[in-house]
Amino acid sequence: RLGPIDAIHTRIGAADDLANAQSTFMLEMTEAAAIVHGATDCSLVLMDEIGRGTSTFDGLALAAAIATQLHDRNRSFTLFATHYFELTEFPARHERAVNLHVGAVESGHDIVFLHQIEPGPASRSYGVQVARLAGMPNALIRQAQATLQALQAKAQQGQAQVDLFAPPPAAPEPAAAAADAAQPLLDALAALEPDTLSPREALDALYRLRALLPKATP
């Protein structure tokens, strides 16, 4: 139930205006500017994914500032969708704000969105899983997953820069097992002193090394 409203303002990214030299992000900011200038405390505002058309830090800074403007100055009834986890701290500083998220259930690599609105922030995002559902190649998914893990690890260490364009991780192979099997050969080779061996001792050592070769896997 909504009380009387004087206007409905939306920024949902449904269209671009490249033909008129309006980039995606410029159009996003133009529409957002119109909203923060025109919305009142009797307006309904729907904002989707503000700040995603520029760099991460720029976008996050703008999204936080726009959310604050709508809450503190416009005081509009606002639905503000975002994937910036940092913004889920917004209600802790703004008494009229609450977090809600769409429920989802994971099963292995599969994910099902429940189309249910639940209280509180989401525990995580599901971008890589959605990309998998969309049919992205496995190598691409492995690369994205590895990059995501690296970004999360760097963020925890206070470092933000990682190699976003590293080759995708190779498909799982028994490489570790092969390395373990070759270790006795490497140890025996490292222990040899070629300059001290007689011809006969060198031949015997060669036979010993050959005996240590890992058996070929069929």
Question: Is residue 172 scored above 70 in pLDDT?
Answer: no
Higher pLDDT, 94 or 211: 94
The pLDDT score that the predictor gives to residue 122 is: 87
Q: pLDDT tens digits for 24-72?
A: 888 899 999 999 999 999 999 999 988 887 888 888 889 999 999 999 9
The answer to whether 13 and 47 have CB atoms below 8 angstroms apart is no
Distance separating alpha carbons of residues 131 and 205, to the nearest angstrom: 55
The pLDDT score that the predictor gives to residue 217 is: 45
Question: What's this model's pTM, rounded to 2 decimal places?
Answer: 0.66
Distance separating alpha carbons of residues 119 and 135, to the nearest angstrom: 31
Please state the φ and ψ torsions of residue 59, each to the nearest 5 degrees: -65, -45
The pLDDT score that the predictor gives to residue 164 is: 47
- How does residue 163 score in pLDDT terms, banded at 50, 70 and 90? low
- How does residue 162 score in pLDDT terms, banded at 50, 70 and 90? low
- What mean pLDDT, rounded, does the chain reach? 83
Length of the chain: 218
DSSP the chain: -----SEEEEE-----BGGGTB-HHHHHHHHHHHHHHH--TTEEEEEESTTTTS-HHHHHHHHHHHHHHIIIII--EEEEE---GGGGGHHHH-TT---EEEEEEEETTEEEEEEEEEES--SS--HHHHHHHTT--HHHHHHHHHHHHHHHHHHHTT-----TTPPPPPPP-THHHHHHHHHHHHHHHHH--GGG--HHHHHHHHHHHHHTSPPPP-
- How does residue 174 score in pLDDT terms, banded at 50, 70 and 90? low
The pLDDT score that the predictor gives to residue 201 is: 83
The pLDDT score that the predictor gives to residue 111 is: 82
Taking residues 165-191, what's their average pLDDT? 69
Higher pLDDT, 126 or 165: 126
